[in-house]
Amino acid sequence: MGGSLPDQLEAIGVTAAEIDHVILTHIHSDHTGWNTVRVEGRGVPRFPNARYHLHEADVELGRGREDPDDLREFDEVIEPLIVSGQLDTVPEDHDVMPGLGLRHAPGHTPGHRCALLEAGDERVLFAGDLLHFSFQLDHVAYLSPADEGPAEASRSRAPWLRRVEDEELTLATSHLLPPIGRLVRANGSVRLLPR
């Protein structure tokens, strides 16, 4: 597990107990790795008071995997959330709280979602793994081998990227640089520029 989430939270003075919601855009390990901590040899939710959000289709995907490493990972980072009663698997699009909504965008995984944050005049689409490569900004129909359902992922990607551009939403991505920016069209091409 990479990254420094616990250190970053500590640096801004936020404790694990203060976190109310954790949005898991999908079940892959680079998006679920901080879910749990080991306590007395077993995984427990890292954020003890949080409601974790993961689409039910991805829970079923995780349970149905055959690879032993995938099953072990599910047991370590998802199952403790189920056991604790903290996992919300509602499949419908809904708001987690006023101004923060979950929107189904399947294809990367069956339950992949984006999160749309609206705070005053600022609107940000947290895209999860809606796209993996910067060239997908221009080639939304590209069938990525990183997606479990490439054609479905492309069908999800196109309207979201159109909306981001048309409504001038800020786009927060997991795998592009810059990770947060605005889509700008110039010379017939779309680029993500730093915000």
Amino acid (1-letter code) at residue 16: A
What stretch(es) of the chain map to CATH 3.60.15.10? 1-91, 99-195
For domain 99-195, give the CATH number.
3.60.15.10
pLDDT digits (tens, 9 = 90+) for 107-136: 999 999 999 999 999 999 999 999 999 999
* Averaged pLDDT, 4-33: 95
Q: What dihedral angle (degrees, nearest 10) is formed by the CA atoms of 57, 60, 65, 70?
A: 80
User: What span, in angstroms and rounded, lies between the C-alpha atoms of 126 and 119?
Assistant: 13
Share of the chain above pLDDT 70, in %: 99
* Averaged pLDDT, 25-52: 94
User: At 2, is the pLDDT very low, low, confident or very high (cuts 50, 70, 90)?
Assistant: low
Determine the pLDDT at residue 54.
98
For domain 1-91, give the CATH number.
3.60.15.10
Among 91, 127, 83, residue whose Cα is nearest residue 110: 91
Structural contact between residues 53 and 96, judged by C-beta atoms closer than 8 angstroms: yes
**DSSP characters over 53-84:** E--HHHHHHHHH--SHHHHHHHHHHTHHHHHH
